[in-house]
Structures are given as structure tokens and as C-alpha cells.
Amino acid sequence: MIYREAGQFHSRYEEDQRIFPIRQDRFAIAAILLAAFVAVPFAGNDYWFSAILIPFLILSLAALGLNILTGYAGQLSLGSAAFMAVGAFAAFNLMLRVPGMPLLLAFFLAGLVTAAVGLFFGLPSLRIKGFYLAVTTLAAQFFIEWALTKFAWFSNRNPSGVISAQKMVILGYRFETPVSRYLLTLSIVLVLALAAKNLVRSRIGRAWMAVRDMDVAAEVIGIPMLRTKLLAFAVSSFY
């Protein structure tokens, strides 16, 4: 058999705690990353990069955040698109209004801004859950969309309300071609996916899963319910 766990023994605790403890998993991930970073840039064209692969990676990053909030923490949310918009507009305005703002720092600060917005709209989750929480996040979706289109400052007073990304430069290198932007997006998604995987394996991730499975029991054993839920909203919004 090509895939079998039998015979793969772990003699150390560190080996058992690997992200991919099965040898075939490590080989498969290495092959996928090699294809994504080496084969795809040579085989793809501008249309594939601009219209399919880059949007796919961006939506994959949003799915990571939603998986943290709903999959691990058990909190329903219908406002992921609104939080993505907050991050995009925040990065746009940071690059536009702060002279000399590095691109990666703008991305990071935009994530923090989005996390703060997620905390604000996550406050109702402290007292409600289920369908009512989903309705609350849906209200966030409509409110954020209204605010971004109502106040022209966010879009630099563009009559259409559409923003255009500034030139992407990191350490003097300009990401002008679709393949270079694809590789940049892929690298960011890879780093954040690795961070998310390690986060859910930590004490915080175990607290999220305890709240998801039985919030009353989690609170009884000492898990801070309010802080755990708010942290889930903040982290998912950051993504």
C-alpha cells in the first residue's frame, strides 16, 4: 500500500507533535509546495494568475479565518466578506496616507485593524450564539458595506467607490507581473496557514475546541469563555 501508518513509530515526544507526523503526508505537502512554487509559475499564463490563482489564494486565506472561527471555535459568522473589505481598505489607506509605509507592514497593520473591527462586532457573541449570532454578523456585513461606500474618505474620494492598489514594492523589488504577485500571495498564505495550524494545536486552540463542543463544560473547567470567544473573532478577522 502507498499510504499506511503501520510501522511508523515515534520514539520522542517532538516526533509525535509534528504538524505532519505521517511520512507520506510530509512527502505530499512537499510535492504540492514544489509544484505551486516551481511548476505553476512556468506552466501558467497571465490570465490564470490574475483571474484564477491569485483570487483562489485570497479566498483560501479567508477560508482559513472562517475555519478558525466556525470550525474550531464553533461561532457562526456571515460577515467574512465585510472583514475582508475592511482589511483591503485599511491596507490601501495605510499605503496612501503614511509616507514610506512598507508593504508587508501595511498588510500586518491592516490585519490588526480588521481584528479590532472583528472584536467590536464579536462583542454580541458574549451573550448570544447560534442563529442570533449569525444574524449579528450579517448585520456587520451590511453596516461595513454601507460605511465604506457612504464615506468617500475610505476610497480616496473616488466617485465609483473603487480602490486601486498602489505599486507593490518589497526591499526595492517591484511585484509588477502576475507571476510575481502570485508568488507573493502564495508565500503569505503559506506563512499564515502554518501559523493557523500551530495556533489551533496550542492551548488557545484546545480552548476553542472545548468551547465549540460544550461551552458550559468548558467554563466549568476554568476556560475564560469571554476572552476565548473574542480572541476567536479577532484572529479570524485578522486572516
The total number of structural domains in the chain stands at 1
Residue 47 within any structural domain of the chain? no
Q: How confident is the model at residue 191, as a pLDDT?
A: 92
Residue in the block written with cell 454601507: 146
Confidence (pLDDT) at 186: 92
Confidence of residue 7 (pLDDT cuts 50, 70, 90): low
- Rounded mean pLDDT of 83-102? 87
Written as nine digits, the cell of 85 is: 473589505
Domain-located, residue 68: yes
Mean pLDDT rounded to a whole number for the chain? 83
* pLDDT over threshold 80, residue 46: yes
Quote the crossing angle between the two packed helices 225-238 and 80-97, to the nearest 10°.
60
Digit-coded pLDDT (tens) for 139-173? 888 888 888 888 888 877 776 667 777 788 888 78
Only one residue has cell 473591527, namely: 117
Distance CA 93, CA 114 (A): 13
State the sign of the Cα–Cα–Cα–Cα dihedral 63, 64, 67, 68.
negative
**Predicted confidence (pLDDT) at residue 106 exceeds the cutoff of 50:** yes
pLDDT at 3: 64
Instruction: Return the pLDDT at 192.
Output: 92
Q: Which residues of 108-140 are buried (b: 16+ CB within 10 A; e: fewer)?
A: ebbbebbbebbeebbebbeeebeeebbebbeeb
Question: Does residue 26 lie within any of the structural domains?
Answer: no
Closest C-alpha to 74, from 226, 221, 213: 213
For residue 214, name the pLDDT band (cuts at 50, 70, 90). confident
Residue 209 lies in a domain: yes
Could you read off the pLDDT of 26-41 as tens digits, one per residue?
A: 888 888 999 999 889 8
Q: pLDDT at position 1, please?
A: 47
Residue 49 in domain:
no
Percent of the chain residues topping a pLDDT of 90:
12
Place of cell 470567544: 229
pLDDT at residue 56 above 60?
A: yes
In this prediction, residue 120 carries a pLDDT of: 84
- Give domain status of residue 231, yes or no: yes
Within 8 A by CB and 6+ apart from 127, the residues are: none
* 40 domain residue, yes or no: no
pLDDT tens per residue across span 225-237: 878 888 888 888 8
The answer to the question of residue 157 being in a domain is yes
Between CA 174 and CA 60, with CA 101 as vertex, the angle to 5 degrees is 65
Range of the domain at 86: 54-238
